[in-house]
């Protein structure tokens, strides 16, 4: 059984200020190469780690190009929704998003808690997924990352869009691989963390994140990073992962511009200091309305249904504002 895994395509029609190239054209070229790799290596299915699009409702021209390229895949595409694929971090808005629509049309099959069993080359695999939601990496990690092993399958694969890290690298909400020693998944595939951590083995379990297909940040690590996908071969019962560098992805220095970042460095540092002081004074971890509501709900011990209703209304408001802007 062969699998091609890639993540965080963030398909969009515009280019951010820190890109020197036409990002839309670059993204299309990279996606075309991904499809060619999947077909050339004759994989049995393709997996996507979330954030298919950069916004829940991209322009139809962007969606058309995305779907047209993916239709060239000779095998099924499975994936999970990322935070950029839904409104306000609320998974209940998925049916009203472009990703939800493309899934209903059959171009993508979105994974959830209910396992999907596939068989190829004499190997049976169980696929499950955990899309992004506001409490991921904040509540008990085992609720999102740890699953029961499927006794009827040869290998259990879990796909998740969360901040899974191999080591602590920055403040905020994240989950460490070493804290997931009791998961029943043989193979955990992660998106969301754009820098990725490659392919790691912990005992008889494997954790893979090849990094995002797109480079939106002009951070020096993003400039140095090579864009890769993961080719996973399960032949013979062993897990062999090869990280393939995309030939269509330009060198970071050619497409990412740090000039503006350097000019604004002093102002950014000042803003960071100001933000930190405000956060410390107010004991708020984020300037995020949805997060504030969640924190207040826990502090006041409010009923879970009240919190969910408040988050639902925020997501609807965000969705309405996006529609007005477009």
Instruction: Give pLDDT, residue 284.
Output: 43
Instruction: Report, as an integer, the average pLDDT of 54-72.
Output: 93
Confidence of residue 259 (pLDDT cuts 50, 70, 90): low
In this structure, what token pair is assigned to residue 80?
């999970």
pLDDT number for residue 273: 61
pLDDT one-digit tens code per residue, 279-307: 555 544 444 667 777 777 776 777 788 77
Which of these ranges, 13-17, 260-264, 289-293, has the smallest mean pLDDT?
A: 260-264
pLDDT score, position 250? 80
What pLDDT sits at residue 285? 44
Of 56, 50, 48, the residue nearest 12 (C-alpha): 56
Separation between Cα atoms, residue 179 and residue 168, nearest integer Å:
12
The pLDDT of residue 124: 95
Q: Which residue has the higher pLDDT, 156 or 298?
A: 156
Q: Residue 8: count other Cβ atoms within 10 Å of its Cβ.
A: 26
- Residue 286, judged by CB atoms within 10 A of its CB (0-12, 13-18, 19+), counts as middle
Kindly report the length of the chain: 326
Banded pLDDT at 278 (limits 50, 70, 90):
low
Q: What is the pTM of this model?
A: 0.81
The pLDDT value recorded for residue 276 is 57
How far, rounded to the nearest angstrom, does the alpha carbon of residue 153 sit from its chain's CA centroid? Answer: 26
- For the chain, how far is it from start to end, CA to CA, in angstroms? 43
**Hey, is 35 helix, strand or coil?**
helix
Residues 6+ apart with CB under 8 A from 12: 23, 24, 27, 53, 54, 55, 58, 62
Q: H/E element holding 321?
A: helix 304-325
What are the pLDDT digits (tens) for 207-243?
999 999 998 877 788 888 999 999 999 987 789 999 9
Contact status, residue 203 vs residue 180, Cβ threshold 8 Å: no
Q: What is the mean pLDDT of residues 247-257?
A: 77
Residue 241 is encoded by which pair of tokens? 């992962």
The 10s digit of each residue's pLDDT in 161-218 is 999 999 998 888 999 999 998 899 999 999 999 999 999 999 999 999 999 999 887 7
Distance CA 159, CA 144 (A): 10
Element containing residue 324 per DSSP (H, E): helix 304-325
Question: Which residues have C-beta within 8 Å of that of residue 51, sequence separation ≥ 6?
Answer: 7, 8, 9, 10, 82, 83, 84, 85, 161, 191, 192, 212
Checking if the pLDDT of 67 tops 60, the result is yes
Across the beta sheet with 187-191, the strand order is: 116-120, 123-130, 155-161, 187-191, 205-209, 198-202
In this structure, of 90-104, 224-238, 267-281, the range with the lowest mean pLDDT score is 267-281
Q: Of 101-115, 190-204, 270-284, give the lowest mean pLDDT range.
A: 270-284
Residue 178 DSSP label: G
Q: Which pLDDT belongs to residue 126?
A: 97
Label residue 134 exposed, middle or buried (CB < 10 Å: 0-12, 13-18, 19+): buried
**59-72 average pLDDT score:** 93
Q: CB under 8 Å to 10, separation ≥6 — which residues?
A: 27, 51, 53, 54, 84, 212, 213, 214, 216
More confident residue, 27 or 290: 27
Q: Residue 279's pLDDT is what? A: 52
Please report the domains of the chain, with CATH numbers, ordered by start residue. Answer: 2-254 (3.60.21.10), 264-325 (no CATH)
Q: What's the pLDDT score for residue 2?
A: 97
CA distance linking residue 133 with residue 113, whole number of Å:
14
Do the beta carbons of residue 65 and residue 23 sit within 8 Å? no
Cα–Cα distances in angstroms (integers) from residue 96 to residues 57, 59, 142, in the given order: 9, 14, 29
Name the more confident of 264 and 196. Answer: 196
What pLDDT, on the 0 to 100 scale, is given for residue 324?
A: 67
Which candidate, 302, 293, 282, places its Cα nearest to that of 88?
A: 293
Q: Is the pLDDT of residue 272 over 70?
A: no
Q: What is the pLDDT of residue 269?
A: 58
Q: Considering all CA atoms of the chain, what is the largest pairwise distance in Å, rounded to the nearest integer?
A: 60
Higher pLDDT, 149 or 322: 149
Mean of pLDDT values over 233-254: 87
């Amino acid at each position: 059984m062969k699998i091609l895994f890639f993540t965080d395509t963030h398909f969009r029609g515009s280019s951010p200020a820190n890109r020197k190239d036409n990002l839309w054209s670059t993204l299309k070229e990279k996606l075309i190469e991904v499809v060619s790799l999947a077909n050339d290596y004759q994989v049995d299915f393709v997996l996507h780690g979330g954030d298919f699009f950069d916004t829940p409702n991209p322009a139809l021209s962007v969606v058309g190009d995305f779907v047209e390229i993916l239709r060239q895949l000779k095998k099924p595409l499975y994936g999970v929704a990322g935070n950029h694929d839904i409104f306000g971090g609320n998974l209940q808005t998925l049916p009203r998003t472009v990703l939800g629509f493309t899934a209903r049309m059959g171009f993508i099959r979105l994974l959830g808690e209910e396992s999907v069993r596939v068989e190829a080359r004499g190997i049976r695999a169980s696929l499950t997924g955990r899309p992004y939601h506001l409490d991921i990496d904040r509540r008990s990690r085992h609720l999102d990352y740890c699953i029961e092993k499927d006794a009827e399958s040869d290998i259990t694969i879990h796909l998740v869009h969360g901040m899974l890290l191999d080591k602590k690298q920055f403040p905020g909400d994240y989950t460490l691989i070493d804290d997931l020693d009791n998961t029943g998944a043989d193979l955990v595939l992660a998106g969301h963390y754009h820098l990725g951590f490659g392919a790691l083995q912990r005992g008889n379990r494997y954790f893979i994140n090849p990094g995002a297909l797109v480079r939106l940040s002009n951070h020096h690590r993003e400039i140095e990073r090579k864009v890769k996908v993961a080719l996973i071969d399960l032949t013979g019962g062993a897990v062999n992962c090869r990280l393939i560098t995309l030939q269509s992805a330009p060198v970071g220095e050619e497409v990412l511009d740090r000039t503006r970042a350097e000019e604004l460095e002093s102002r950014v540092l000042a803003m960071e200091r100001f933000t930190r002081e405000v956060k410390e004074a107010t004991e708020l971890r984020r300037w995020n309305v949805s997060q504030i509501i969640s924190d207040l709900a826990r502090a006041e011990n409010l009923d879970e249904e009240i919190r969910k209703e408040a988050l639902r209304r925020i997501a609807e408001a965000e969705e309405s504002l996006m529609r007005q802007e477009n």
